[in-house]
Structures are given as structure tokens and as C-alpha cells.
Amino acid sequence: MQRYIEAVDKFSTWVGHAFAWCIMVMIFGVGYEVFVRYVLRDPTAWAFDISYMMYGTLFMMGGAYALARDSHVRGDVFFRTWSPKTQARLELFLYFIFFFPGVIALVLAGWKFSERSFRWGEVSSMSPANIPIWQFKLIIPAAGALLFVQGTAQVCRCLICLKTGQWPGKLEDVEELETVLQHQAEDHRRLQQDYEADKGADGK
């Protein structure tokens, strides 16, 4: 199970990193629109479509990566005070009662939307550019499938925790600057305490 968790986490991380480049495409599109609109007085017909498609794709395809990193918002006022085994039992229950049914519904409904969009040759109604959007709607079932696979890895994590009493570790990855600074401050405080303890021992 540990090897399966690591393989799924690596895949979700790779997908998350790959689709993170959508933000650069969005920035370029919005920046170009601002320039041509206010400097050249010649606005584009496609920039708005690019912005919402890239943001939506980034948001959807980053879901499995966020789940692997335990980055989704949760109300853990009481959860964090419980033992790992109690946490694992609750998470296992919630995955099967809420998560998997919701994700399966997302895949089925998303596939229906994208299939109809492709069959009808649907185009964007947000601009006169008539940009096809079936490929954008195809992101919905794809993101749901990725979430489902990552969810199975999270279930394996719960089972390991129930067996060992400890949550298995996660892959090392980029951290928020605030988290990095917090870890640095904790390391510095720990080193300072060790130094003072050693100094006190030498004094005795």
C-alpha cells in the first residue's frame, strides 16, 4: 500500500505541477489584453475566454494535487486534537459516505456535459470569438477521475494509520513561505534550547 500511495502521490504532484503553467498562460492573456485595450485601443475577442478557461483548468486539475498535499480546507477544530487512529476512522467513513459518491457523480455528469458539447460543436457565449469549449468541459470528468484515484490512496493512508497508529509521510514538495519561515523559527528555537542546555551542563 505504501508503494501505491507514493506512486499516486507522484502522479498527482506531476499533474499539479504541469497544470500550474496555466497561470502563466492566463497572465499572458490578461496582460496582453490590458496592453492592446488601453494602449493600442484595440481589445481582443478571446482574452476573457482564455482567462476563465485557464483558471478553471488550474482549479480543477489541481484538486488531486491539493488532496495529496492535505491542502483542502477542513474544519479541524476538534479533529486535530484526536488520536491518529480516531482521525483515520472518521476520514475513512467520510471518504465512502461523501467523497467517492460525489466524485463519481462529478465524473458521470462531467462526461455527459463534455460529450454533448463535443457533439453539438459548442462554442463560448462569452465573446464573439466563437472559441470551442468542449475541450474545457472535458476537464471536469478528467479532474474527477484524478480525484478518485487520489482518494483511493488516501483510503490506503487511513488503513495504514489504523494498523500502525501513525499517519504515513507525504512527499516533499514546495511549501508556502509562511510555512518555511515557521519551520526555520522552530529549528532555530530548538537549536537555541539545545545550546543553552549544553552550556548549563558544562557549567555544572
Q: According to DSSP H, which parts of the chain are helical?
A: 2-19, 22-38, 47-61, 63-68, 84-94, 100-120, 134-137, 139-164, 177-203
Q: Report pLDDT for 203.
A: 58
Q: What percent of the chain has pLDDT over 70?
A: 95
Q: Report pLDDT for 197.
A: 77
Q: Is the pTM of this model over 0.75?
A: yes
Instruction: Name residues whose C-beta falls within 8 Å of residue 108's C-beta, 6 or more positions apart in sequence.
Output: 141
Residue 169 has pLDDT above 70, yes or no: yes
Q: How much is the mean pLDDT over the chain? A: 89
Between 110 and 1, where is the model more confident?
Answer: 110
Residue 76 has pLDDT above 90, yes or no: no
User: In Å, how far from its chain's centre is CA 67?
Assistant: 6
In the beta sheet, which residues pair with residue 132?
Answer: 123
